[in-house]
Structure 1
Amino acid sequence: MVSSVPAESGSATRESGTSVFVSIVVPVYNAMPYLTDLLSSLDAQTLDTSLFEAIFVDDGSTDNGGQVLDEYAAGREHVTVIHQENSGWAGKPRNVGMDSANGEYIFFVDSDDWLGAETLTRMRDFALAHDSDVVAPRLVPAGGRKGGGSTFAQTVIDAPLEHMLKTLMPQKMIRAELLRANNIRFREDKVRLEDGMALVKAYCAAHRNSILGDYEYYYIRARSDGANISMAPIDPASYTASLAHIATTLMEDVPDSDYAKDLVAGLFSRKGLKVYRGQRFLKYREAKRKGWIQAHREFLAEFLPDDLHRFEGIRREKVVCILNSDHDGLICLARLEANEERSPVLESVEAEARYLKFSARVPNYVSKPVSFVAEQRKTKEQQRISLHCSDSQGADEQLIAAKLPLDGAQGLLDLSILLADGRLKRIEFPQGVPETTHLGARVYRTANGYASVDARQLRAGTLQRVMNRVGKVFGRRSKL
């Protein structure tokens, strides 16, 4: 169905007599060619089309996306396309989609992402089994996008608020009645965290928030054209005002005030203190750095005036600097972090009998390097090898050397440096270092620019033949 006016919302029943379980709401603006991946993934869903509907709100696209949607909807009863003038932000199209939704749940999906084939079936089964109000599916980064990680590592039926607050992006399936009963809407002006403001309100109102981590549900893409809204520059004052809006919701809707403050502190640690991290803070102009400090100082004064104890480690140090407007102190902390963010860099690879000898330049981290690690990519088994370190003598890095035995090497091995505090730092493979093959084992540069060894072609018996030859050579020499 194609429309320029939203239909009335409510529980709809298809001609088959089956009610719609979930309404997929998709705001669309100049999403081609990525939009076609989403459309294909909807056609591939294992859930019967009588149980879901897809509502696309074309926010005045100037590419051919509107035409593609109209053609797509023409042969599909469960698909609705609404065209509207450009609003400039995702909030209004999401609200328009909500107003037209007929499902028991509403699933917010972005037009440049796509779904796993079993996503809707699995989410429906889970929601019915556990009576969840909010279901957060596992996000799978695509196209270089960051996200997912430990938040979606496993399924959590009753996810506490501190867990849910780690995911403020809109890709959630939410009970429609919860949204309507609590008048939860998306901000329609051009404001950051408009999705987080709505979601936190829903999290607080929900009887049960759940996280689904047992399947690759939702592929979230970084667009190659850089047109993701999240890629746009951020104004410190307006962003912090959005953060304050979320903090106000937590303080008002969470009955336990001490717990609410813990939640606000966690929120500020993730969404506020991230701007002071390493190179990110150092790359800002001084005026913008001071703009962040001022905005955050006011935020802390309003919501966490006497709550330094809620922060630990370097976060606590940063909060102290913010409260004291200590720009230089934050610069020092950022430089320290910038060094910690650096990776070891491969210097050379040499073939040596039944070994591969590696040299790498390792930054002088706060925690010292203790081992060279070859981790089997499939099994995650680690081989830890002792290091030989040069004296740094005041430099910002040191040279390390390690010999990787090829006896028993199998599969793909990812190379890292293990630090004393337990961190693994992957070794970068710079463009200038040539790949090396020895006895069938190949040292190569991964797509992400790191050093790995492909031992799948390591020839059986080759090592023994080499050792036999070495033995014969030394044997003859010993007779001389």
Structure 2
Amino acid sequence: MTNGIRVSVVAPVYNAGPFLHAFVNSFLIQTLPGDSIELIAVNDGSTDDSAAILDDFAREHQNVHVIHQENSGWPGKPRNVGLAAARGDYVFFADPDDEFGGPEALERLADFADEHASDVVVPKMVPRGDRLYAQWRYETTQIDADLVTCFTTLTPQKLFRREFLLDQDIRFPEEKVRLEDGQFLSLAYLKASRVSILNGYDFYVIIHHPQQDHLSAKPVDPANYIGSVAVMAENVEKYCTDPDTGDRIINEIYFRKVLANFTNSRVATHSLERRQAWQRQQKWFIDRFITTSRFEKMDEIAQVRTDLARDGDLDAIVAYARAGSVDFTFVSARSKRGNIELAGKLSGGFSDGELPKLVVIDRNDKSRIVTIPIQLAKSQVTVQIPKETLPLMEGARRYDLWLSPGRGHQNRRIEGPDRPFSLHFTDDRDVELYSTKKGNLSIAVSRGMSTQARTKRKLKRIIGR
């Protein structure tokens, strides 16, 4: 143990006054002894009361240390300053507008890293507020983690063995570049002897504060942004020892980052000049990194977008983005000769000749997928779901409904109704259309009362009168 300290928490602070008490207190309640953990808060020239709040904490708690510096304009330098001052066996980079998920967070992380000799531990993080953060990557603990999965989380909130970072000279870029944490993480993931993913506990809460002035909300310079992705891709080419894994990592960051503007909400708001700037940088990245081998390993959506970016037809790119914005609003459901007829409305970028389709997926057997055409009649659309799609089986069966905008687009969930729609069929099916916890439209099919039993019950009621 270095100086008796197991974990150093490093936090860059800039005008985070409203959130500092919750953040620091989530550190102070950690179950590791107070003399075995330290918080190094680097005040990056805050103009609010952040400095005073931090100094108050430092006076009251010996394991809270504050470094004041002139504003650097970016989180890279204060993180490096904090790393240089850290004394722990491990370093955890946190943000002062977030919180640790529970008091055992640091102890569990350090114990796991000790047991498995992990240089990097990716902890389960959960979102709060309007922030979205995919949870699938934390489904299982992975002692030797899949690196492609790791590259889907490039935020710095991870546990790092401090000696590893120092020996490998891994630091954050200090200039004003986007995805500086991605550049740091790409080196850490690829140079580490072992990278692990740890679930089973909400280690960290990543919080969206609408009132906060986030760097990520500021306009992106395509050359700066895609240039950072290129640095990550170069790191992969240089340090990834398995060519196939390297191809899949590059494809992953390419799709999420380089092709990030292929949505109508972004393209529609871009000026012609900005569309041209994105396309130029995308084509440059494609020419440099997207080899034939990598292209062949992409799914259809990535291949379609790659071809569009490479061809440079801006009108086609806009048309593609608009087609992907189509949405189906569910209105009602009724039984029709043993089938289910959904009624609703379409909005977004669709044409009469290229209507989207409804996709029904059996939740118990996701290989059972049925695609059904949507029919347009005046201002309303209908979908006929054949009874064979929702057969009566043993036990309840649930189906999730998706909207398919067409080739080269991602399917999207359909918003469910405010109240369930219940239908009964003569073949004893009870069908309920309902909203999931996330508000998506799904269908439940179960065995109901037979027609004969219903008739007997009706007669009994009549006779009883």
Q: TM-score, normalised by structure 1?
A: 0.76
Distance 2:57 2:456 in 1: 68
Matching of residue 391 in structure 1 with residue 375 in structure 2: yes
Matches within 5 A, 1:314-325: 314-325=301-312
Q: 1:229 deviation in Å?
A: 1.9
Distance 1:402 1:47 in 2: 59
Q: 1:172 deviation in Å?
A: 0.9
2:329 aligned to 345, 350, 355, which one?
345
Matches within 5 A, 1:239-388: 239-257=225-243, 259-307=245-293, 308-339=295-326, 342=327, 344-348=328-332, 360-361=344-345, 368-369=357-358
Change (3 A) 1:138 1:348: same
Match for 1:143: what amino acid? G
Change (3 A) 1:322 1:349: closer
Matching of residue 201 in structure 1 with residue 187 in structure 2: yes
Name the residue aligned to 1:137: 123
1:62 aligned to 47, 50, 64, which one?
47
Match for 1:199: what amino acid? L
SS at match of 1:146: coil
2:150 aligned to 151, 160, 164, which one?
164
Name the residue aligned to 2:94: 109
Deviations 1:105-132 (CA, angstroms, capped at 9, x unpaired): 1100011111122211110111011110
Q: 1:153 deviation in Å?
A: 2.1
Match for 2:128: what amino acid? A
Change (3 A) 1:285 1:205: same
Matching of residue 36 in structure 1 with residue 25 in structure 2: no
Q: 1:473 deviation in Å?
A: 8.0
Match for 1:321: what amino acid? L
Match for 1:184: what amino acid? I
Name the residue aligned to 1:99: 84
**Contact 1:416 1:424 survives alignment (8 Å):** no
Match for 2:23: what amino acid? L
**Contact 2:124 2:199 survives alignment (8 Å):** yes
Distance 1:107 1:61 in 2: 22
Paired residues in the alignment total: 438
Name the residue aligned to 1:89: 74
SS at match of 2:255: helix
Deviations 1:2-32 (CA, angstroms, capped at 9, x unpaired): xxxxxxxxx752xxxxx11110000111113
Matches within 5 A, 1:441-456: none
Q: 1:141 deviation in Å?
A: 1.1
Q: 1:314 deviation in Å?
A: 2.0
Distance 2:279 2:268 in 1: 13
Distance 1:317 1:381 in 2: 28
Change (3 A) 1:388 1:207: closer
**Contact 1:186 1:194 survives alignment (8 Å):** yes
Distance 1:212 1:52 in 2: 20
Structure 2 unmatched ranges of 5 or more: 335-340, 423-432, 444-453
Name the residue aligned to 1:215: 201
SS at match of 1:276: coil
SS at match of 2:53: helix
**Contact 1:362 1:398 survives alignment (8 Å):** no
Give percent identity, aligned residues only.
Answer: 34
Deviations 1:298-348 (CA, angstroms, capped at 9, x unpaired): 112222354432323021121122222222332232233222xx3x42325
Matches within 5 A, 1:425-436: 426-428=413-415
**Contact 2:414 2:440 survives alignment (8 Å):** yes
Deviations 1:117-155 (CA, angstroms, capped at 9, x unpaired): 221111011101111000111111111111232222221
Change (3 A) 1:390 1:329: closer
Deviations 1:355-378 (CA, angstroms, capped at 9, x unpaired): xx98544678977436599x9xxx
Match for 1:323: what amino acid? R
Name the residue aligned to 2:426: none
Change (3 A) 1:468 1:85: farther
Name the residue aligned to 1:52: 37
Q: 1:447 deviation in Å?
A: 9.6
Match for 1:26: what amino acid? A
Distance 1:84 1:55 in 2: 13
Name the residue aligned to 2:162: 176
Alpha-carbon RMSD: 4.6
**Contact 1:136 1:173 survives alignment (8 Å):** yes
Name the residue aligned to 2:214: 228
